[in-house]
Structure 1
Amino acid sequence: MGSKTDPPDAPDPGAEFRAAVGPVRPLRGAPPAKVPPAARPVTPPGRRPQAPPPLPAVLPVIEPGATVRLARPGVPKRALRRLDGELFVAEAQLDLHGLTAAQAGAALQAFIADCLAAGCERVRIIHGKGQRPGQDLPVLKPLVIESLKGHPAVLALRSAGPRDGGSGAMRVLLRRA
């Protein structure tokens, strides 16, 4: 018999899931670790967080297969090595496939803000190569490059390695919070 708020024949919302998954048993060993809630970053007194730059109005022409290697002046070479080679491990990733330029720009800005709040340093942004029939040049690739070049938290960016998408993705080194 159901409660006064539920109709008598209300379906169990988890029944379909349990039927699809089947019987389960708990894993042996230590209980799962409790993950603390994400701490909200605190801005030191007298300092305001730097706002990301607006999206560029005019984008440069960039060929689909072009590779990119940019770094702010003064970034140590040992820090740049974190972006190079096959040992790169992204702490977060954003895939912009299927988005319009406006949607991609907003998603990129939100992603960078979230990564900074979470303390991520190495991230991957997949923008695709932009090779579509009837379209000679990519749209998202120059948008991503120009947006990242002007962002105050971005120290360096590189085209990804072959296993990470090559010229269709960027490896980004962010300033530590």
Structure 2
Amino acid sequence: MTTATTRSTQHVRPDDFRHRAACRSIDAEVFFPTAVRGREAERQVSAAKAVCAGCPVRAECLTWAITHLPDGIAGGMTEDERRREQARRRDARRRRRTPERPAGGTRAEVARVGRAALAAGMDVQEVAATFLVSLRTAQRWARSTTSGTRGRGMTEGSRGGHRAPLQISHTATQAGTRAEGNRA
């Protein structure tokens, strides 16, 4: 392999979507309209979007353009359309990540998920409304989430509450031993 061949293959990445894009042989100026508004602007935008419409890597291009290309048309969208799409995707991610009250969950389960929601950045009032608890309870969860009570030997359900940690009663253990002894 010659040095010239080696250099030319170094910047060709076959996994890069741009090598399969419909626009790779089109003048880049098509994707940066010069007209600001009116029929000419609509015509220029339509010409660029027509190239994108038949592109086999349109989705990859749009994802890349949302984060890397502030101007022009890419992925079949203008910069304003991409900003709205970015906001829509961000909102969709937030909605997916928002924990919900466990159906039929115990108080401990609801508290665990509520604390996780607070740790993820959910507002205390929103947690109270989502998990059907009082504002005071949500505030207590918030305090226990930030106070670092995790390593104090308390159980998950009792952390931050007024209840003592879960302990095994020695009398219950002894009663079980006596019952076994009576059977013998």
Q: Same fold (TM over 0.5)?
A: no
- Compare CA radii of gyration and give the structure with the larger one: 2
TM-score, length of structure 2 as denominator length:
0.22
TM-score, length of structure 1 as denominator length:
0.23
Greater helix content: 2
Greater strand content: 1
